[in-house]
Amino acid sequence: MNYAKIKYYDISNGPGVRTSLYVSGCRNHCKNCFNPETWDFSYGEPFTEEVEDKIIESMRPDYIKGFTLLGGDPFEPENAERLAPFMEKLRAAYPEKSLWCFTGYDYERDILTGKLGNIDTNMRILHTLDVLVDGRFVEERKDLNLKFRGSSNQRIILVKPSLESDEVVLWNEVDFV
């Protein structure tokens, strides 16, 4: 798996100051995507154990509130297989910090059903997450007033309560996860 970039002081992809990993590879090819270079699975640099360690170390300070995974698309099967053990390692290292993920795929239709990739791998990732922002970016539904989303069809899902209740539970600003 390759990654496009890492932002160590990101304030736009979740609440607070975060470390964000942009993975390479996406088949959605959304019109006017803000990262079209990440569609190519071979774009960027290899995601190595050294890169993992650098990310984990970057999250040590108390002012880093969490980690965000985006891309490309983390739930592309080629990416998910590599990311599942990393996300488990990250969650174990920082159980108190929030972990967010952005995907162009639909939570219920694609990720939970195994329609996209391996269901066990998807579940491993989901169990590490606090929040999943799902849905393709749709240019016609673009709204610059939305927080942490580009278009109004995208949802900010609280993962743990959603998995526990078997119903989608949406995040709102007062949740501050």
Taking only the tens of pLDDT, the chain with its 177 residues reads: 999 999 999 998 999 999 999 999 999 887 887 788 989 999 999 999 999 999 999 999 999 999 999 989 999 999 999 999 999 999 999 999 999 999 999 999 999 988 888 999 999 999 999 999 999 887 788 888 788 887 888 999 999 999 999 999 998 765 555
Residues in contact with 10: Cβ distance below 8 Å, sequence separation at least 6, in sequence order = 17, 18, 19, 20, 68
pLDDT at 97: 97
C-alpha pair distances (Å), 107 with each of 13, 56, 155, 157: 18, 26, 9, 9
Name all domains of the chain by residue range, CATH numbers in brackets.
2-175 (3.20.20.70)
pLDDT at 124: 97
Residue 125 in 3-state DSSP?
Answer: helix
pLDDT at 99: 98
pLDDT at 174: 57
Residue reference for tokens 């607070």: 16
Phi-psi region of 135 (alpha: psi -120 to 50; beta: other; left: phi over 0): left
- Encoding tokens for residue 51? 């890169």
pLDDT at 30: 78
Instruction: Note whether 139 and 170 are within 8 A (CB).
Output: no
